[in-house]
Structure 1
Amino acid sequence: MRDGGKGYDPATAFLITALCAASAALLLLVDGAKGDEDEFPTLLINGFTATHAAGSPSPFEPVLYAPNRAFAFGFLRVGPGSLDLAVVHLPSSLPLWRATPARLGDWSRPATLSFDTTLVLTTAGGPDTTVLWQTLNAAGDTVALLNSSNLVVRRYARPFPSWQSFDYPADTLVAGQNFTAASPPLISSNRRFALRLGASFIALHMEFYGGRARSPAYWRHSALEEPPAAGNATVYGRLDGRGFFGMYLDGDGGERRVDVLSFDTFAEANLAGALFRRMTLDDDGNLRAYYWADGGGGSTKAWTAEYEAISSGRCGLPTACGAYGLCVPGDEAQCQCLTADTTSPPCHAGGDDEETAADLCDHVDAELDVVRRTRVSVAYKEQLPPFATNTTAAKCEAACAGNCSCWGALYGGASGYCYLIDFPVETMVYDADDAKVGYFKVRKVQSQTRRRGMAPGVKAVLAVVLVGLVGAGAYVGYRMWERKRRRRGEGMMVQELGTGPYKDLKSMASSNNSFKA
């Protein structure tokens, strides 16, 4: 019904107004969604490039986010000034995964992350451009960070990722991540310890100087249910969100769980599956599990430990007191030294000398002291196969003294077992038993200041330089002698010419071209 014959309909006017308002609101939502997508990108496609701002004051520069905004992937500052790529748990700012390139970048210099079928991290352009890290043997169309913290490279037409960070753990496993014999070992962030999976067990190892020396085990857990020795079955581990680490057998009959490491919260139904969990090889050498719960309401939460592989305290850890240290158990474990040159750690500089760490046999001319101590043992004695049984302390010591690859020997009087330490001596443990005797080889401190031997190539270069310096010195000496000789000759000539008339000098100059300027 029209009003006043002017064609005005209140209902129609109201409908038009409502439609306009709805359109405006929709535009605002779309614009807001675009802005949010720009600020929190959740997908990278071919052609993507991001540049690290050299010397950025922020320790983390994200370039990709998980849909739940709990994780981000980007540039991470490591230590005082190194650059790496990492997946970070944003609520705690903790790196869960690191690319850990063979050669870390420099935080003070620009670096570029690009994606063109593969992810590639390079230093800034120019003639010295260097590839620091890339996803090898994989090609994809997109890169995404899942809500599980898994970074994946995918092809559009394939359901499974062509590359994923879960296959290349750093020092941490998260819920749902498989840990197999083909996986790289978990390496602590200080590069001193490793977690490896064997045929039917997991074990913790000491890593001496980047793995260039032997990697002895100091903790081991075998599956309770032994897998079959033959067949195509493989054992792998997986952290379960319900609060345990399981070991599984994948064979012809499908997946079967053969062992469980239960966490403290495993029986708590209100926590099971509702938390984000991780298992990390910490820098002290212990393998621990943690959980994180969102506090809500802006409250601050922290990681809560719920499992540790070595629960015997500080003295149970392999390097608690450093090289040649002695850990005294108690409510508050104390560190002493095996050597007499000092009483408190660090105990002996020679124990950490990288030059002789790999093998004493390569340095037979090294000057060694001998340290003998009673009441000493080692926390991981079960991981050291006995060299001999039913022997004596003297025979045990002699077996090590005559072996250049032996760094020390431990003898247990009650058992008669002799254990040889064929790796650099680390922390020993005090044991109130006079029959437990230790014998240790220690490099003399003064030998540290002795001139170290040089490689043949270095010697050759230095010889050439020395010959060049001698030749240059001889040449300079000759020139100085020649200059003095000429001065003496010129002085005598001036004296002789000064006695004659000036016209004789002019005639001499015109008749002898050697005196012309």
Structure 2
Amino acid sequence: MKTPTVNSVTHPSSTHFLLFVFSILFAYACQRTEATAQELLKGFKATPNASVSSFQALLSDSTDTFSLGFLRVNSKELALAVLHVPSSEQLWLANPTQLAPWSDRTQLFFNGSLVLSGPRERLFWSTETQGDRVVLLNSSNLQVQKLDEYVSILWQSFYFPTNTLLENQNFTSNMSLVSSNGLYSMRLGSNFIGLYAKFNEKSDSGQIYLRHKALEAKANIIEGQGAIYARINSDRFLGMYQVGTIPPVDMLPFNSFQRNITGFVFLRLESDGNLKGYYRDGSKWILDYQAISDTCELPNPCGSYGLCRAGSGCSCIDNRTDYSSGSCFESTSSGDFCSEGEDDYWVLRRKGVELPFKELMRYEMTSYLEQCEDICEKNCSCWGAVFNNGSGFCYILDYPIQTLLGVGDESKMGYFKVREGAGKKKMDVGFGVGIGVLCGAIVVLIGAISFGSCKIWMRRRGVKQILEDEDGISPGPYKDLASASFRSIEMCNARR
């Protein structure tokens, strides 16, 4: 009897079975390692995946709370970003001012430096280090480390914040927070925290619109002892410290200060110029602090030449301009009235206005309004002036006019230069269209009247000729042909 043949597919050998299991485990391990890599070593390379719509993770911290990866911006561009994974909240960007294309020719690699490059070897960003590995800590701090006898930190993202300050991250005088639109910044002074607006692109420092000076309640600032730095404390306050001292020289408490609340905390300079603090409560972010609570106290809530009234919203300094479009005048953010071809302007005056941060503005003492206006008129770098008739303060604006406060006191008066042509295009188009429509209507009306009159004249002329042919006798009914009612009927017919 022949021995039956065993089907290898139905009854695989133990060797095949082990190979099958091993391949599955190997594939899973590779996939798991790629998704949750906790360090990048020399030789690492990555390119954007075309199928990814928002964020492509490349490196995670040990808790999988934070991730470094490619972030899609405007669908076609790329930023190297650190995200809070549960909420997809952006905490840090490597290249906020120079985005790379989302392309397979864009590459992130580590050769001792972490480098983001683009087509034709274009360099977008680099740590410029000679390290051994890249890690992302549980604090969201990205580091390039050197591995010798001990671990040394060559570079870290906490030294280069973008618009966000994180819990236990030191903020020094060498750093700045910059809003995502690039218009506002937060910097440290010798004894204060300042918020600045870049109203004039020719100015490097910007206009300060909020200044919080250290109260020195628990410790005094000792001149020459050390620099000032700020840090978000886990007890929910923004503290100002002096290097070499333990107690804070100032404390800005959050709403949850000294409350038994746990959760990730950060402070952000928003695109409207406000400084806000948040903490994570379960599945949502809670607003925990804001430096400016009144909308009208923000640096520019109503736009160029706008007017903000508490409880009334936005309008325009010029009463004749409608704010419904969301702006008053198209205005430049750079230049002055000194350059060639830039000296043409007209003057806008308004009573009952003042500056939202006048205590931080430059001013001169004048006796009357005309004197204040004259100072600005003769200064080609001056865009406007606000005069207080009660105090004699003349505030000088050396940047394009932003939002002002509307007040009931008409002794506070404003003088503003408006560059020739600002907002004019929109007004001229509307005016031209209106005139065109009016002229067209007049031409049509005149044509209709002329045509009707001509028709009536010809009819009357024809009747008269008939009567003349009939011995000049005019029967009664034909006398009504020239009546007013009939002329109306003719004109109606002519218009049809």
Match of 1:310 in 2: 292
**CA contact under 8 A between 1:341 and 1:348: conserved in structure 2?**
no
Kindly provide the amino acid, as one letter, of the partner of residue 287 in structure 1: L
Kindly provide the amino acid, as one letter, of the partner of residue 252 in structure 2: L
Match of 1:379 in 2: 356
Match of 1:47 in 2: 43
Of 223, 230, 238, the residue aligned with 1:230 is 223
Of 132, 135, 151, the residue aligned with 2:127 is 135
Share of identical aligned residues, percent? 38
TM-score (norm 1): 0.73
Report the Cα offset of residue 207 of structure 1: 1.7
Match of 1:438 in 2: 414
Q: Deviations over 1:71-95 (max 9, x none)?
A: 1001112234321110011111111
| Cα separation, partners in 2 of 1:213 and 1:323, compared to 1, 3 Å | farther
**CA contact under 8 A between 1:48 and 1:114: conserved in structure 2?**
yes
Whole-Å Cα distance in 1 between the matches of residues 276 and 359 of structure 2?
Answer: 21
Whole-Å Cα distance in 1 between the matches of residues 220 and 202 of structure 2?
Answer: 29
Matched, 1:74 2:51: no
Match of 2:108 in 1: 113
| Cα separation, partners in 2 of 1:210 and 1:70, compared to 1, 3 Å | farther
Match of 2:191 in 1: 200
Match of 1:91 in 2: 86
Local SS of the residue matching 1:315? helix
Report the Cα offset of residue 101 of structure 1: 5.3
Match of 1:291 in 2: 279
Whole-Å Cα distance in 1 between the matches of residues 66 and 317 of structure 2?
Answer: 46
**Structure 1: where are the runs of 5+ without partners?**
1-24, 295-300, 450-517
Local SS of the residue matching 2:289? strand
| Cα separation, partners in 2 of 1:203 and 1:211, compared to 1, 3 Å | farther
Report the Cα offset of residue 360 of structure 1: 2.6
Match of 2:476 in 1: none
Of 302, 305, 321, the residue aligned with 2:302 is 321
Kindly provide the amino acid, as one letter, of the partner of residue 88 in structure 1: L
Kindly provide the amino acid, as one letter, of the partner of residue 438 in structure 1: G
**CA contact under 8 A between 2:347 and 2:417: conserved in structure 1?**
yes
Match of 2:454 in 1: none
| Cα separation, partners in 2 of 1:339 and 1:63, compared to 1, 3 Å | same
Q: Deviations over 1:376-397 (max 9, x none)?
A: 0121111113222x52212111
Match of 2:249 in 1: 258
Kindly provide the amino acid, as one letter, of the partner of residue 250 in structure 1: V
Report the Cα offset of residue 53 of structure 1: 2.5
Of 205, 210, 217, the residue aligned with 1:219 is 210
Match of 2:379 in 1: 403
| Cα separation, partners in 2 of 1:214 and 1:406, compared to 1, 3 Å | farther
Q: Deviations over 1:31-78 (max 9, x none)?
A: 866653332111111111111134x44211110011111110011122
| Cα separation, partners in 2 of 1:71 and 1:365, compared to 1, 3 Å | closer
Whole-Å Cα distance in 1 between the matches of residues 146 and 105 of structure 2?
Answer: 30
Q: Deviations over 1:346-400 (max 9, x none)?
A: 444442x25xx23332246432010000000121111113222x52212111111
**Structure 2: where are the runs of 5+ without partners?**
1-20, 426-496
**CA contact under 8 A between 2:61 and 2:137: conserved in structure 1?**
yes
Equivalent residues, number? 402
Whole-Å Cα distance in 2 between the matches of residues 446 and 162 of structure 1?
Answer: 50
Match of 2:99 in 1: 104
| Cα separation, partners in 2 of 1:446 and 1:399, compared to 1, 3 Å | closer
Matched, 1:38 2:17: no
Match of 2:483 in 1: none
Report the Cα offset of residue 150 of structure 1: 0.4
Matched, 1:343 2:322: yes
Whole-Å Cα distance in 1 between the matches of residues 130 and 202 of structure 2?
Answer: 31
| Cα separation, partners in 2 of 1:250 and 1:211, compared to 1, 3 Å | farther
Question: 5 Å matches for 1:178-189?
Answer: 178-183=170-175, 185-189=176-180
Local SS of the residue matching 1:92? coil
Kindly provide the amino acid, as one letter, of the partner of residue 334 in structure 1: G
Whole-Å Cα distance in 2 between the matches of residues 205 and 156 of structure 1?
Answer: 40
Match of 1:394 in 2: 370
| Cα separation, partners in 2 of 1:437 and 1:152, compared to 1, 3 Å | same
